[in-house]
Amino acid sequence: MEYSPPPLFKQGASARVKMTVFACISIALLLVDSHMRSLETVRYYAGAVLSPVQKVALLPRDAIYGVGDYFSTLSSLEKQVRELKRQQILGSQALQQAQLQSAENAQLRKLMDARERVPVKSMLAEVLYDARDANSRKIILDRGTHQDVALGLPVIDNQGVVGQVTRVFPFTSEVTLLSDKEQAIPVQLLRNGLRSVAYGRGKSGNLELRFTAPNADIQVGDIVVTSGLDGVYPAGLAVARVTQVENSAGGSFGGVICQPLAGIANNTQLLILMSTPEMPPRPPDEEQRAPRKHNNKMAAIKDAPKEGEGQPAAAGAAPAANGAPGLIPVLPPAPKPATPAPAADAPAAGAAANAATPAAATR
């Protein structure tokens, strides 16, 4: 019985033979090309022809790699975006802090300049918060009795007067702003020296010069400064600028509205003037005289001196009853029913009678 190999074995043997033949051809071509350089042109044109085929064949691989790169790139970009946002937030906060510190430094420099120009001793204070009462214009500072802050001390900034200390605590103090309704300050116009009193207008934040004459020389844009007449604010501190003048010809007074110059709502640092200006001593008060009683009656007149007091009586002089002129005279005694006087004495008796008549009338 004759043995016959399986078909698969026959196919594998033929394939090995073919591979061997191709390998030998390849080796021969490599040797020829290395020595003769004759296949470069063929290789060049073959590469040009087969390049599109290679690209088409590599498309699936490139697509798989592209999808992987896309997702990895997207994830990395999201991480970078989150990091950049975080850095942006930190940078914006740092920028805001830097701007705030720059503004505070600028304000502090201005306050130091104002401190040198103020003629009295001053102390730097920081605004903590506004007062709880919404209807009042008050702020709280971080200085109190432990820092020698007392009632009535004025508070200013680099632009003008802010207010006055109205309440003092151990470590804080309350300042009533000029725009409060209960606050008033004597002022004068810088242009012509016209004196007046500025009153606060409450929530509007403005001041008002009350009781000014309708024809007063006040113009929009005039600067109002302290007059120093109250003994609290030093003279010459800027207070406000005139923004509105209402002259009423028919009224008794005109209305003048002013805008405060101080940065009341903007500043966080202020200056407290630790002493009030020295005022000259007041003249002594006049002695009050007690009112006289019975002013509707005439004052009593002193009695005439008695006879023989002060000077001797002259011989033949008139009786003491007819005293010196200007005093109230005394009535003479009644005449005795004696013999009639001589005729020579008649004129003297008539004169005495005439003198007694006005005296009786006077009494």
Task: Out of 39-48, 154-163, 278-287, 307-316, give the one with best mean pLDDT.
Answer: 154-163
Between CA 328 and CA 363 the distance in angstroms is: 9
Between CA 180 and CA 203 the distance in angstroms is: 8
pLDDT computed for residue 79 by the predictor: 92
More confident call, 189 vs 255:
189
Q: Are residues 269 and 129 in the same domain?
A: yes
Q: By percentage, how much of the chain surpasses pLDDT 70?
A: 70
Q: How confident is the model at residue 349 (pLDDT cuts 50, 70, 90)?
A: very low
Question: What SS3 class is residue 115?
Answer: helix
Between CA 260 and CA 264 the distance in angstroms is: 8
Q: What angle do CA 242, 247, 248 make, to 5 degrees?
A: 155
Report the amino acid identity of residue 333. Answer: P
Q: Give, in order, the Cα–Cα distances in Å from 307 to each of 222, 281, 313, 327, 360.
A: 82, 57, 7, 15, 22
Length of the chain: 363
Of 84-93, 171-180, 269-278, the range with the lowest mean pLDDT is 269-278
Question: Is the pLDDT assigned to residue 187 strictly greater than 60?
Answer: yes
| For range 80-89, the mean pLDDT | 93
Between CA 334 and CA 92 the distance in angstroms is: 123
| For range 125-139, the mean pLDDT | 82
pLDDT computed for residue 165 by the predictor: 93
CB 188 within 8 A of CB 225: yes
User: What average pLDDT does the chain have?
Assistant: 75
| For range 295-302, the mean pLDDT | 50
Backbone angles phi, psi at 129, to 5 degrees: -170, 170
SS (H, E, C) 298-344: CCCCCCCCCCCCCCCCCCCCCCCCCCCCCCCCCCCCCCCCCCCCCHH
**Domain end point (choices 221, 238, 273):** 273
φ/ψ region of 147 (left if φ > 0, alpha if ψ in -120 to 50, else beta) reads alpha
φ/ψ region of 291 (left if φ > 0, alpha if ψ in -120 to 50, else beta) reads beta
Token pair belonging to 4: 């016959």
**Domain end point (choices 251, 273, 295):** 273
Question: Is the pLDDT assigned to residue 32 strictly greater than 70?
Answer: yes
| pLDDT tens digits, one per residue of 310-324 | 444 444 444 444 433
Cβ density class 329-342: b for 16+ within 10 Å, e for less: beeeeeeeeeeeee
Between CA 268 and CA 107 the distance in angstroms is: 9
Task: Out of 16-30, 142-156, 204-218, 324-338, give the one with best mean pLDDT.
Answer: 142-156
- CATH number of the CATH domain containing 239: 2.40.10.340
Q: Are residues 269 and 125 in the same domain?
A: yes
More confident call, 7 vs 141:
141
Between CA 97 and CA 94 the distance in angstroms is: 5
Find the domain containing 211 and state its range: 121-273
Of all residues in the chain, what percent are helix, strand and coil, respectively (each to 5)?
A: 35, 20, 45
| pLDDT tens digits, one per residue of 197-249 | 999 888 788 899 887 887 788 889 999 999 888 888 888 889 999 998 876 65
pLDDT computed for residue 62 by the predictor: 84
| For range 341-359, the mean pLDDT | 43
Q: Are residues 110 and 43 in the same domain?
A: yes
Asked, for residue 343, whether it belongs to a domain, the answer is no
Question: Is the pLDDT assigned to residue 82 strictly greater than 90?
Answer: yes
Radius of gyration over every alpha carbon of the chain, rounded to an integer in angstroms: 60
Asked, for residue 131, whether it belongs to a domain, the answer is yes
Q: How confident is the model at residue 5 (pLDDT cuts 50, 70, 90)?
A: low
| pLDDT tens digits, one per residue of 165-186 | 999 999 999 999 988 888 889 9
**Domain end point (choices 273, 293, 317):** 273
pLDDT computed for residue 240 by the predictor: 92
CB 163 within 8 A of CB 178: yes
State the total domains in the chain: 2
Question: Is the pLDDT assigned to residue 289 strictly greater than 80?
Answer: no
